[in-house]
Amino acid sequence: MQSAPAGESMRAGHPVQPSQRMPPLSALRECLSFQADEPPQSFLSRLFGVHPIAREARRSFSGALAELAVMESLSALGSEWTVVHSVPVAGHKQDDHRLVEHRVIDHLVIGPAGIFTLSVESHAGQALWVGERTFIADGERLDHLAKADETGRAVTRLLGSALAAAGVALEIVVTPCVVVDAPATLEVRQRPGRIQVVTARSFSAWLTGLPRLISPTVLEEVVAVAVAASSWPSSPLDHLDTEADAHERRAEFERLRLRVSSARLRRLLWTGLGVVVSYGAVIVNLGGLTALELTSALGR
């Protein structure tokens, strides 16, 4: 897999070059932000395995796990595939006293099987049901499909215009993908048009198993246009990290994930110890009974 940033933006008055664009990892950033305001755990809390994640950060913690699972899946793609991170599809400007907010695609994937937009959604442990126009998670109807369709249309329009301007004669087809992490079940009753709903674990295998639709020569031209900053709206994203910043955030999150695993293990150990002590107390009590009393107790 080739990783290529896209889009040029402004940060603190200085242009952020395409080579500095990193994956958004929005949930991971939010989780660490919540945790930064959380006081350190006490010795007893650590000893008894109290959950180290603040309650308001637990949803974003799950989302961060989904983001990292997708990143791992993308890293398994071969060299024919290019991944463009944090692609802006709408600018952020003042227009007739109206503020137009930016929108950013998590990942744009381009390869032999076509062009794919990825929207990462966290639904760990949930039952998912997908219909032609419906996405339901544990009984709650969500708008993932509508957002994915809107994103796919935006990329089709923007990338199509950029290719035409570059003289590349290609009618592109963009496949929007909703990538979900670790659901309990995923039932796709009816495929929602051109949108694909795939788990993070199976995404790379599904993608590489698709038939080739773009020749190597045309693919090279498409990638060259897709990674150009001029192909996308300028968007002053204030959350862009340098590579060093991104690695530090990942390392901080990994330390947090280790604390969560350690706390879970301690809770299991205390639970197991409680069971052992309870059985021990029962055995000790039974040991003090006479044979007649024991027979009578067991016969009740």
The pLDDT profile of the chain, 300 residues, written as one tens digit per residue, is: 666 654 443 333 444 444 346 777 888 888 888 888 888 888 888 888 888 888 888 888 888 888 888 888 888 888 899 998 888 887 544 444 443 445 788 899 999 999 999 998 989 889 999 999 999 999 999 999 999 999 999 999 999 999 999 888 888 889 999 999 889 999 999 888 899 999 988 899 999 999 999 999 999 999 999 988 888 887 655 455 667 777 788 888 888 888 888 888 888 888 888 888 877 777 766 665 555 554 555 555
Q: Which regions of the chain does DSSP assign to beta strands (E)?
A: 2-3, 9-11, 14-16, 82-90, 93-95, 98-100, 103-111, 114-122, 127-130, 135-137, 140-142, 174-181, 185-188, 196-199
Instruction: Give the separation between CA 47 and CA 136, rounded to whole angstroms.
Output: 39
Cα atoms found within 13 Å of the Cα of residue 19, Cβ hemisphere only: 0
122 strand-pairing partners = 181
Residues 6+ apart with CB under 8 A from 247: none
Instruction: Give the separation between CA 9 and CA 179, rounded to whole angstroms.
Output: 27
3-state DSSP helix/strand/coil % of the chain, to nearest 5: 45, 20, 30
Q: Which amino acid is at 300?
A: R
* Contact of 210 with 114, CB cutoff 8 Å: yes
Instruction: Give the separation between CA 158 and CA 266, rounded to whole angstroms.
Output: 52
| pLDDT of res. 287 | 61
Domain ranges of the chain: 2-270
DSSP 252-273: HHHHHHHHHHHHHHHHHHHHHH
Query: Which residues in 89-114 are b (16+ Cβ under 10 Å) and which e?
Result: bebbeeeeeeeeebbbbbbbbbbbbb
Instruction: Give the separation between CA 285 and CA 283, rounded to whole angstroms.
Output: 5
* Contact of 27 with 56, CB cutoff 8 Å: no
